[in-house]
């Protein structure tokens, strides 16, 4: 399928053997991403109805499996590098890639649910934070700061801007709120593969790095901690947690660079993407 052209990128000096190319996508690709993104957003909208004290995380996995099956979609994480679930569920101090296992949600938890649905070959990747009951003020604040960090990163996306502008927008805002950016994970190119170049770092210097061009498609997905930014991997080799056990939060959108800015493919038509503490609380 020739719905993109390859933009060759000069390899970094320290990695001269790797030839990088960044795909520039056309209108057909944007249509495909719009559909996949909307489906992922609708799936995450539905997750909001499940979130309450006492439900096992596996209920969320079952819901995503059923949702995908009934919409002719495939959860991209199933079987991805040996990962066995249809989504990731990361509770409290879990930074990312938590397993949706038998562990139960409890009043006061904050949980990130990360879903990637493949629809007609296109990958819609998005994640949101959900509140269980009434989280402490610090948890609510972290969720709001993380959403704002992602929003500022996305607002930096336009032709002529650089990758460092995205990272800088995220990092400088997190720092101004005395929170830390996790440096071990980043956003990524996306399209007809799950993880493509370029890496979208959540820190950086304004004006540095790859220049953004119309037609690039990637995710913006900062992980922000209340404490230090260091992470530790659990023995399952997937679950990343904060080393200091502080709370961590993340939001993610898949976006495409347009003539004068960007299009968010994974926006919620119900306006549920932003942290809606009132909405989830009302469901209790």
What are the residues binding ligand MF3 (CB under 6 A)? 77, 80-81, 83, 88, 97, 114, 116, 125, 221, 238, 252
For residue 124, give the nearest of 4, 218, 45, 24 by alpha carbon: 218
109 binds, among ligand MF3, Co ion, none (CB under 5 to 8 A by kind): none
Q: With respect to ligand MF3, which residue has the nearer C-beta, 126 or 171? A: 126
For residue 97, the partner it binds in ligand MF3, Co ion, none, with Cβ less than 5 to 8 A by kind, is: ligand MF3
| Cβ neighbours of residue 265 closer than 8 Å, sequence gap 6 or more | 33, 34, 36, 37, 38, 124, 253, 254, 255, 256
Q: For ligand MF3, which is the closer residue by CB, 115 or 277?
A: 115
Beta carbon nearer to ligand MF3, 77 or 171: 77
Minimum CB distance to ligand MF3, residue 88 (Å): 5
Nearest to ligand MF3 of 174, 190 (CB atom): 190
Minimum CB separation from Co ion for residue 54, in Å?
A: 26
- Supply 104's token pair: 């139960």
Of 230, 163, 194, the residue nearest 9 (C-alpha): 163
Residue 165 or 221: the one with the smaller Cβ distance to ligand MF3 is 221
Residue with tokens 């879903």: 115
Under the binding rule (CB under 5 A), the answer on residue 114 touching Co ion is yes
Q: Which of residues 125, 148, 165, 196 is near Co ion by CB under 5 A?
A: 125
**Distance of closest approach, residue 92 Cβ to Co ion, in angstroms:** 18
Of residues 202 through 241, those in contact with Co ion by CB under 5 A are 219
What residue 80 binds from Co ion, ligand MF3, none (CB within 5 to 8 A, per partner kind)? Answer: ligand MF3
Tell me the closest approach of the beta carbon of residue 258 to ligand MF3, in angstroms: 22
Report the nearest approach of ligand MF3 to the CB of residue 17 (Å): 25
What is the distance, to the nearest Å, from the Cα of residue 112 to the centroid of all Cα atoms in its chain?
Answer: 9
Contacts of 151 (CB under 8 A, 6+ apart): none
Query: Closest separation between CB of residue 84 and ligand MF3, Å?
Result: 9
The alpha carbon dihedral of 227, 232, 236, 237 has a sign of positive
Instruction: Tell me if 78 sits within 8 A of 95, measured CB to CB.
Output: no
Beta strands in the chain (DSSP E): 4-9, 20-25, 74-75, 88-91, 94-96, 110-119, 122-131, 180-181, 187-189, 196-200, 217-220, 223-225, 231-233, 240-242, 248-250, 253-257, 262-264
Q: Which is nearer to ligand MF3, 219 or 246 (CB)?
A: 219
Inter-helix orientation angle 27-47/57-70, to 10°:
140
Name the residue nearer to ligand MF3 (CB basis): 30 or 123: 123
Binding site for Co ion (CB under 5 A): 114, 125, 127, 219, 252
């Amino acid at each position: 399928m020739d719905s993109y052209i390859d933009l060759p990128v000069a390899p970094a000096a320290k990695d001269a053997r790797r030839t990088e190319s960044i795909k520039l996508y056309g209108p057909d690709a944007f249509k495909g991403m719009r559909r996949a993104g909307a489906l992922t957003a609708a799936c995450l909208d539905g997750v909001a109805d499940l979130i309450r004290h006492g439900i096992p995380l596996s209920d969320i996995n079952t819901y995503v499996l059923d949702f995908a099956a009934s919409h002719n979609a495939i959860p991209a994480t199933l079987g991805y590098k040996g990962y066995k679930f249809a989504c990731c569920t990361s509770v409290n101090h879990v930074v990312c890639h938590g397993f949706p296992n038998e562990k139960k949600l409890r009043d006061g938890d904050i949980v990130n649910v990360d879903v990637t649905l493949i629809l007609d070959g296109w990958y819609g990747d998005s994640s949101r934070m959900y509140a269980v009951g009434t989280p402490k003020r610090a948890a609510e604040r972290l969720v709001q700061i993380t959403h704002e960090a992602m929003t500022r990163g996305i607002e930096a996306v336009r032709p002529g801007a650089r990758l460092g502008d995205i990272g800088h927008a995220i990092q400088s805002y997190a720092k101004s709120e005395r929170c830390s950016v996790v440096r071990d994970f980043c956003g990524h190119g996306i399209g007809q593969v799950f993880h493509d170049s370029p890496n979208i770092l959540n820190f950086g210097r304004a004006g540095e790095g790859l220049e953004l061009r119309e037609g690039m498609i990637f995710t913006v997905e900062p992980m922000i901690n209340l404490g230090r930014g260091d992470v530790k991997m659990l023995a399952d080799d997937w679950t990343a947690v904060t080393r200091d056990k502080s709370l961590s939060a993340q939001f993610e959108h898949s976006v495409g660079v347009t003539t004068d800015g960007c299009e968010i493919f994974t926006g919620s038509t119900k306006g549920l993407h932003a942290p809606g503490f009132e909405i989830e609380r009302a469901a209790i």
